[in-house]
Chains A and B, each alone.
Chain A
Amino acid sequence: MAGTNTGTGMDLLRFATAGSVDDGKSTLIGRLLLDSKSIFEDQLEAVEATSEAKGYDYTDLALLTDGLRSEREQGITIDVAYRYFATPNRKFIIADTPGHVQYTRNMVTGASTADLGLVLVDARQGLTEQSRRHAVILSLLRVPHLVLAVNKMDLVDFDQSIYENIYREFTQFATKLNVPDLEVIPISALQGDNVVTRSENMPWYSGPTLMHHLEHVHVASDRDLIDARFPVQYVIRPKSDEFHDYRGYAGQVAGGVLKPGDEVVVLPSGMTSKIARIDLFDQEITEAFPPMSVTVHLEDDVDVSRGDMIARVKNAPAPSQDIDAMVCWMTTAPLQPRQKLAIKHTTRTGRALVKDIQYRLDVNTLHRDQATNELGVNEIGRVTLRTTVPLLCDPYSKNRTTGSFILIDEATGVTVGAGMING
């Protein structure tokens, strides 16, 4: 065991959890952490002491994850928290998002970086509005893998028909969504059934345990390795004697594979050149792909600065100032037509004018409400924007990096909207 748990050869899975208030989400996370030996004695002791002081007759694993004073006071989770555990093959980053309706924006936040979404339902309640909403949000955010964990199976006597009804109802609902990969697992987070170890109480279930699925789900193929996209982040010019003529364009590859010799175009100027060299710190490398942070050199001395994008000559995004996107609105003052906001897309920042709010999406029924002309907090709708600078964008369905943007209130500086560009 010692020494095997090292990061050099491991890969990474980011997943977001969702569930209603009492679905046992914190208990499940506590269980995953506890059973993967990611909880330390002093943390567990603190939780045991607090549970005892509160007069509970069990150790409340939820106390492990509710990190803020006000959360412990109210016994609820009010904000996204990120947690970590590892098995010998994989490291996991959990975006632990609150289930309360008023915190939908936090679910969007957690899902934006997730490879996998984990939705919990209470076996006694079956699918609720909340579970549907969570699935809709995960699908809108193009989280490629979805797990529905049917929890509290111990409270329904591990009844197969209850699981199967939920399974049927959900798969039927999911046909309306974009869910490329779905797994439905019956569990008891409290007792540990099918979380890490296979449950003896549910011999009728032949699928993987939750941990087995998390460890083996294939995420490497979820990236776009076809369309080369390199948003320029920073121009490196050492101005030293040793590196007098060094001029490198630093950034993180957002799509495709870049290689020396590739014919490229710099957007929005449209100037063409060839990749002369790619540096990774002090090494020259033969190719760069997402999510590598590298430095690209071009053969010609073309004008390139932050906010520009390097792409392949015959496969480049079309610069556009008219943006059609799904927007999740995140603040109390509603989004309205004619509103002006700052917009950040890859490394490019500009201003945006709200031209039209086409409809508000009811995330419970998927109904499109076209009568509305504004979006309230935690609402999602289809919006058209006109931007001051051309954005070099792809449809979000093709590339989550070049297809996403944030909207910022220029007066307060707060992030007020999350956008996903339609194709």
Chain B
Amino acid sequence: MTQTHSDYRLSQLDQLEAESIHIFREVAAEFEKPVLMFSGGKDSIVMLRLAEKAFYPAKIPFSILQVDTGLDFPEVMETRDRWVARLGVNLVVASIDDAIKNGIIPDAAKISRNRLQIPTLLNAIEENGFTAAFGGGRRDEEKARAKERVYSHRDEFGQWDPKNQRPELWSLYNGRLHEGEHMRIFPISNWTELDVWDYIGREGIEIPSIYYSHQRRVFVRDGMLMSETPLNPLREGEVVEERTVRFRTCGDITLTGCVESTASTIAEIIDEVAVARKTERGATRGDDRFSEAAMEDRKKEGYF
């Protein structure tokens, strides 16, 4: 038997964990068909770990859903598959390629695949009848996200209305829905980037290798270091060179930049994150740079 505490105090990381587990259990108890949106990045892996803990030793009582952009890092997909196998959880893949093939979304080469995730995701939610979709969003990521509730209501079009959110009191979450509506659930709302890294370190959680320092063939675009890949053809004047880098987020390979870093352990990454002077998104995410309200606008349409 383990003596956990003698002074009846929980560290902030334990408090955050307890709160997130409470949210997972609440949703599993109250919603007909929840699903966990899984991108394979560090936040969704932490989510999966929390879900594992919430229902242990039973299996996670819902599926996980991945929107396959066709532009994901292969290292991320490998990690995903290992997690799915270890937890024995059901994986639903909503593929943008399939959605285009089936005429669900237009094949508009001009529209970024990041944008096409929205109708693909909403279609998967509708088709599978999911009533609640867990997301790994954190409020510290972005100022529109700072406004988002833990239970975030979506209407029958999947839209978020930031001006008409339900007040969220104590830990009493209101999951009432009408036909066709669903709820986005953010159990790690109160975590910061540093909390996520601390937790990954404490729990010894396996994350995709691209988070650790490695050699990569990269080129500079819009001030960011992008990976060389046939999925992202070089533009005029762009030169590929090999650098020592790592990633701070895992998104679409054509939009997600990396940073120069020699951090090859969690402890070294934590040291780096603790003194980072740029946000993870500001530094490495092309999709948030379109306008000051890029995230808010996408969320209103149904993006997570």
Contacts and interface: CB of A to CB of B under 8 A. Distances in A.
Contact of A225 (B8, B163, B178, B275): B8
A233 B26 CA distance: 7
Contacts of B22: 233, 251-252, 291, 293
A69 to B, nearest CB: 5
Given A10-B11, A238-B59, A285-B1, A81 B278 contact: no
A1 B272 CA distance: 11
A108 B169 contact: yes
Interface stretch (A172-180, A188-196, A239-247, A364-372): A239-247
Contacts of A413: 174, 176-178
Interface in A189-245: 220, 223, 225, 233-234, 236-240, 242-243
Nearest to A246: B57
Best-buried of A67, A238, A306 by chain B (most CB within 10 Å): A67
Interface stretch (A118-126, A161-169, A266-274, A398-406): A398-406
Contact of A86 (B25, B143, B169, B192): B192
Given A1-B275, A413-B176, A291 B8 contact: no
B13 A67 contact: no
A105 B167 contact: yes
Interface string A1-14: 11111111111100
A273 B18 CA distance: 26
A84 B282 contact: no
B277 interface: yes
Given A1-B274, A41-B278, A68 B167 contact: no
A76 interface: no
A5 B7 CA distance: 22
Interface string B180-216: 0000000001101011001100100000000000000
Contacts of A46: 292
A3 B177 CA distance: 44
B147 A257 contact: no
B110 interface: no
A42 B162 CA distance: 24
Contact of A282 (B57, B143, B163, B178): B57
B291 to A, nearest CB: 10
Contacts of B277: 40-41
A10 B278 contact: no
Given A238-B59, A292-B10, A5 B166 contact: no
Contact of A3 (B3, B8, B271): B271
A50 interface: yes
A389 interface: no
Contact of B29 (A86, A234, A237, A252): A234
B157 interface: no
A40 B170 contact: no
B35 interface: no
B4 A242 contact: no
A68 B169 contact: no
Nearest to A220: B9
A286 B58 contact: no
Contact of B139 (A82, A90, A233, A295): A82
Contact of A109 (B2, B168, B202): B168
Interface in B251-294: 267, 270-271, 274-279, 282-283, 292-293
Best-buried of A3, A5, A82, A96 by chain B (most CB within 10 Å): A82
B116 interface: no
Contacts of B92: none
Contact of A6 (B58, B162, B194): B194
Contacts of A96: 146
Given A82-B139, A415-B174, A50 B292 contact: yes
A186 to B, nearest CB: 29
B139 A84 contact: yes
A357 B195 CA distance: 45
Contacts of B102: none
A302 interface: no
Contacts of A81: 139, 143, 146-147
Interface stretch (B36-44, B48-56, B126-134, B233-241): B48-56
Nearest to B272: A2
A280 B4 contact: yes
A272 to B, nearest CB: 24
Contacts of B275: 1-2
B167 A251 contact: no
A320 interface: no
A369 B147 CA distance: 35
A42 B18 CA distance: 32
B147 A286 contact: no
Contact of A250 (B13, B14, B54, B59): B54
B167 A69 contact: no
Nearest to B167: A109
Contact of B198 (A7, A12, A40): A7
Interface in A282-317: 282-287, 289, 291-293, 295, 306
A93 interface: yes
B278 A11 contact: no
Nearest to B174: A415
Contacts of B1: 284-286
Nearest to B198: A7
B112 interface: no
Contacts of B2: 283-286
Nearest to B18: A293
B172 interface: yes
A206 to B, nearest CB: 30
B140 interface: yes
A77 to B, nearest CB: 10
13 contacts: A2-B271, A41-B282, A67-B296, A79-B147, A81-B146, A91-B192, A281-B56, A286-B1, A286-B3, A292-B14, A347-B26, A401-B171, A406-B169
Given A68-B144, A68-B147, A281-B53, 16 more contacts: A6-B270, A7-B13, A7-B16, A8-B13, A12-B15, A68-B163, A78-B163, A79-B147, A86-B194, A91-B12, A91-B195, A108-B169, A234-B29, A236-B58, A237-B58, A284-B2
Interface of A: 1-12, 40-43, 46, 50, 64-70, 72, 78-84, 86, 90-91, 93, 96, 105-106, 108-109, 112-113, 220, 223, 225, 233-234, 236-240, 242-243, 246, 250-252, 257, 279-287, 289, 291-293, 295, 306, 330, 342, 344-345, 347, 400-401, 404-406, 408, 410, 413-415, 418
